[in-house]
Amino acid sequence: MRIKGIIFLTVITILGFLISWISIDPIIESEIEYQASVANGALVEIEGLDIDLIDLKIRWDKLQVANPENTMTNTFETGEMELDFLFWPTWWERVIIEDIIFKEFKMDTQRETDGYFEIPEEEKNAEPSFVAQLVGDVTSEISRNASMEFTNIKTNINVDSLMAKLDLQAPEKIDSLRNGLRQNYQKWDSTLSNTDINKEIAKVESTIKAIDIKNIKDPKKAIEAIKNVQRLAKQVDSLKTKATNLKKDFQDDFGDSKFSVGRIDNWIKGDFQRAMSMAKLPTIDPGNIAQSLFGENLLADYSGYLEYVAIARKYGSRLVGDDKEKIERYEGKDYNFTDKYDWPKLWIQNIDLSGETKTAIQLAGQVTNISSNQKKTKEPIKFNIGGKDNANRSMTLTGEFNYLGEEPKENVNFTYDGFGLKGSKISPSSLLPYPLKTGTGEVSASVSIVDKRFDSEIGYKAKGIAFDFGENPSKDRIQQLIRDAVSSTDQINVTALVDNLDGPLKVKVRSNIDDLFVNALKSTVSKEVDRARQKIESRVRNEIGDRKEQLLAFKQEKEAEIRKEYEKLESRVNEEIKKVEEKKKELEKKKKELEDSLKDKIKDRIGIDWK
Amino acid sequence: MFIILKYIAKLLKALSSEASPNQLAGGFILGMIIGMTPVASIHNLIILMLVIILKVNIGMVILAFLVFSGIAYLADPLFHSFGIWILELERMQSTWTSMYDNELWAITKFYNTVVIGSFVSAVLLCIPMFPLTKIGVIQYRKNIHEKVMKTKFAKALKGTKLYSVYQTVVRVRG
């Protein structure tokens, strides 16, 4: 035994522990901060990370997650955190965390420094995910809603200025169609007058005339003439086919498939619709009312929730692919006798969370089974967080991100109830500019996404409300109408339904005051809208004038001419066929006569009856 | 470089008469196991500790490690096939499974075909190699050592600056 060797080993072991203990923390801290910042799109900072390899614990003093939309605030921050991890999985480069306790969890806090993070190029170039595209669609729906304003309704629309801006397209398109038709008719005129069918008919005609039946005295000659006529019959048949083909081409050229009055109507309709959209005349129905009043707020919240789902799906699906087995040549093959070590790269089994919201709601809850590969843990991510404050406001957030099956599934439910509405405006729309004197609110949202199909509902309830209309009645006529309509109600329920279950994105916003609004608006505004619409429609039709009728008359006239020409040609061909047939019959009759006379002569001479 | 030269010089010295044939043969088979099996394995850490603790010749460990690393590089496909045969032995399945379920065994990565194949091959090879090395050392001392010391390599080694520095260090250390 080497005593020096034993001492050397002991020293090396102690040194190894010391070095790893001192240097491991900053390395891991910076790696976690980098990866989390990439995932978040803004800075994620950990303060005072401490990794205890003997007790298998990790703790930190503070965690800040910057808000990518406003980098001077944090989406959330936590105070002290402690977690326990399992020892053996670390040998297989796996991190299994049994329990994490987050204390002092706070949302929407101010930062002392800017939380901007430069995202690496490869992350920037990543294709937008389905949920990210959905966020985009919903956002564009919000802007569409925001532009719809009933208060813009004008009683005296300046149609001249509108028409000047509009630049009608239908007249130009109709003129261009007329020119196209004219050229086509010219082509057909020339085709029909220059066709070789006429020349061939003339030739057949002269050949038939040249056959003089009276001068045929010999059956042989008669047979020869019949053969000649049969050839002519074939020729005439081929002329008939040519004529039929011409007719077919003509019908194809001018049939309904290439030209329909419907097309012209669509052009006119298109111009009219553009004029209407420039005039910003709204369609007054319950859906539009609720969308204008509450759509912007509700859908903005909705797209905010979806962004979190997008992040979860993006990283959930990316990490699933990380655990692929890699077998290099001559590195051998691992035999897995049981599934004991079939762990994901990261598995946080339980997070206990406690803290408060910006509005001082004391939150507590659990997030379970965050993992890099759910197929290995066989558990989806589940979360259930909620809390109340002294003023009876409550918040709950529950959900599940399930990537166990073939299709990723996300399900999120959120409610925020009991918040005061006193002094706040219920809608960003100028239709409802009045603050509330009293009332409490409740927001609830449920989003369910299965692969690329999603179904969601956002609800908003304002309970026990009373509007502060001020002293004087509103000067704006529409506002006054709405004011009269809502003054009788003490509750507003709004529901937004967003789904793509039948294909394209559908957004429906409904509320209990829709009918009140519609009734108030319909009695007056509807009439004005209809009048304005009629004005625009009649002006559009005037501008287009009788171009459509002229075009149709021109088409009818030219087509009748060409049809007449064709019919003339067709009748000549048919007449010629008839003549050829008659000539053939005559020749056959003559042939029979000649044959009979020959047989009679033979009978007279040798007494044999050939008949 | 200095360390390698140091151990080559030590090896030549040990081969001549200093170390016992057992120490040399022990070093040889331990170096052979490290060389034949994948280096980054837990069992090699244990063997390395044995090399440090036991009075085996470290020069011989290095020599055997270098020689058998090269052989193992070529023989890995054979170890892989041998490993498959071992791990698929019907009567061993319950043993492998219970070993696999025990983390202490599992970290040796015995369930890898190349690890188990090369390790079992190396251990089996130890049985003839230990006595053969001993015989080899004795025969070397009797018949070859003189000739080796007269070779150009040995002379060149003795002539290098590093070797003279090493000799000085040895003298100073006693």
Distance (Å) from the alpha carbon of A3 to chain B's nearest alpha carbon: 7
CA distances from A213 to A102, A583, A588 (A): 119, 9, 10
- Which residues on chain A are in Cβ contact (under 8 Å) with B52? 2, 5-6, 8-9
Tell me which residue of A233, A227, A215 sits closest to A594, measured CA to CA. A215
- Which residues on chain B are in Cβ contact (under 8 Å) with A6? 52-53
- What distance lies between CA A513 and its chain's CA centroid? 30
Go through chain A and tell me how many residues it has. 611
Do residue B101 and residue A340 have CB atoms under 8 angstroms apart? yes
The burial of A463, by beta-carbon neighbours within 10 Å (0-12 exposed, 13-18 middle, 19 or more buried), is given as middle
pLDDT tens figures, A374-419: 888 889 999 999 998 888 889 898 999 888 888 888 888 989 888 8
pLDDT at B47: 92
pLDDT band at A591 (very low <50, low <70, confident <90, very high): confident
B84 touches chain A (CB under 8 A): yes
pLDDT band at B32 (very low <50, low <70, confident <90, very high): very high
Is A347:A371 a contact under the CB 8 Å cutoff? yes
pLDDT at B2: 63
pLDDT at A147: 46
Q: Closest to A332 (Cβ–Cβ): which among B53, B106, B114?
A: B114
pLDDT tens figures, A118-137: 877 665 555 556 666 766 77
Question: What average pLDDT is seen over chain B?
Answer: 83
pLDDT (mean) for A94-117? 84
B residues 1..60 contacting A (CB < 8 A): 49, 52-55
Does the structure show a pLDDT above 80 at B19? no
B101 touches chain A (CB under 8 A): yes
Question: What phi and psi, each to the nearest 5 degrees, are found at residue A334?
Answer: -85, 130
Residue scoring higher pLDDT (A193 or B119): B119
Return the DSSP state at A334.
B
A327 touches chain B (CB under 8 A): no
Tell me which residue of A379, A378, A372, A377 sits closest to A324, measured CA to CA. A372
Residue scoring higher pLDDT (A261 or A496): A496
- Which residues on chain B are in Cβ contact (under 8 Å) with A328? none
Tokens standing for A43? 């800075």
| B53, B71, B87, best to mutate vs chain A, most A CBs in 10 Å | B53
Q: Closest to B53 (Cβ–Cβ): which among A1, A332, A338?
A: A1
- Which residues on chain B are in Cβ contact (under 8 Å) with A86? none
For A346-375, give the secondary structure using H, E and C.
EEEEEEEEEEECCCCCEEEEEEEEEECCHH
Do residue B96 and residue A1 have CB atoms under 8 angstroms apart? no
pLDDT tens figures, A461-488: 888 888 888 776 666 766 777 777 778 7
pLDDT at B130: 92
Question: What average pLDDT is seen over chain A?
Answer: 79
B76 touches chain A (CB under 8 A): yes
Residue extents of the structural domains in chain B: 2-73+126-173
Residue scoring higher pLDDT (B77 or A523): B77
Is A421:A441 a contact under the CB 8 Å cutoff? yes
pLDDT tens figures, A268-284: 888 888 887 777 666 66
Does the structure show a pLDDT above 90 at A425? no
pLDDT at A524: 66
A5 touches chain B (CB under 8 A): yes
**Minimum CA–CA partner of B99 in chain A:** A337
Distance, in Å, from the CA atom of A376 to the CA atom of B172, rounded to the nearest integer, reads 62
CA angle B130, B131, B136 (to 5 degrees): 100
Q: Of the segments A144-148, A248-252, A525-529, B159-163, which one has the largest average pLDDT value?
A: A248-252
Looking up tokens 């006798």, which residue turns up? A337
Distance, in Å, from the CA atom of A148 to the CA atom of A145, rounded to the nearest integer, reads 5
Return the half-sphere exposure (C-beta side, CA atoms, 13 A cut-off) of residue B48: 14
pLDDT (mean) for A200-213? 83
Question: What phi and psi, each to the nearest 5 degrees, are found at residue A382?
Answer: -125, 145
SS3 B150: coil
A91 touches chain B (CB under 8 A): yes
Do residue B106 and residue A341 have CB atoms under 8 angstroms apart? yes
pLDDT at B169: 56
Distance (Å) from the alpha carbon of A342 to chain B's nearest alpha carbon: 12
Write the DSSP assignment of B62-87 as a string of letters.
HHHHHHHHHHHHHHHHHHHHHHHHHH
Pairs of CB atoms within 8 A across A/B: 65
Does the structure show a pLDDT above 90 at A332? no
Looking up tokens 């709950």, which residue turns up? A396
- Which residues on chain A are in Cβ contact (under 8 Å) with B49? 9
Distance, in Å, from the CA atom of A486 to the CA atom of A294, rounded to the nearest integer, reads 14
**Minimum CA–CA partner of A339 in chain B:** B101
Distance, in Å, from the CA atom of A554 to the CA atom of B33, rounded to the nearest integer, reads 101
Of all residues in chain A, the percent with pLDDT exceeding 70 is: 81
pTM of this prediction exceeds 0.80? no
Tokens standing for A416? 């925020």
Do residue A8 and residue B54 have CB atoms under 8 angstroms apart? no
B77 touches chain A (CB under 8 A): yes
Amino acid type, A333: K
pLDDT at A398: 93
Tokens standing for A421? 């509405």
**Minimum CA–CA partner of A88 in chain B:** B103
Asked which of A152-156, A461-465, B109-113 is least confident by mean pLDDT, the reply is A152-156
Write the DSSP assignment of A469-497 as a string of letters.
--SSPPSSHHHHHHHHHHTT-S-EEEEEE
**Minimum CA–CA partner of B81 in chain A:** A332
Question: What phi and psi, each to the nearest 5 degrees, are found at residue A282?
Answer: -80, 160
Distance, in Å, from the CA atom of A119 to the CA atom of A141, rounded to the nearest integer, reads 28
CA distances from A579 to A226, A228, A572 (A): 13, 14, 10
Distance, in Å, from the CA atom of A392 to the CA atom of A438, rounded to the nearest integer, reads 16
Tokens standing for B101? 């379920």
Do residue B49 and residue A9 have CB atoms under 8 angstroms apart? yes
Q: Closest to B100 (Cβ–Cβ): which among A6, A88, A338?
A: A338
pLDDT tens figures, A554-590: 888 888 888 888 888 888 888 888 888 888 888 888 8
Amino acid type, A601: K
pLDDT tens figures, A448-463: 888 878 888 888 888 8
pLDDT tens figures, A29-59: 887 788 778 777 889 898 888 887 777 788 8
Distance, in Å, from the CA atom of A530 to the CA atom of A517, rounded to the nearest integer, reads 17
Tell me which residue of A128, A121, A111, A131 sits closest to A43, measured CA to CA. A111
Tell me which residue of A248, A247, A243 sits closest to A574, measured CA to CA. A243
Does the structure show a pLDDT above 50 at A173? yes
| Cβ count within 10 A of residue A113 | 11
pLDDT tens figures, A499-530: 887 777 777 888 887 777 777 776 666 677 77
Distance, in Å, from the CA atom of A443 to the CA atom of A350, rounded to the nearest integer, reads 28
CA distances from A84 to A57, A58, A98, B38 (A): 5, 6, 6, 32
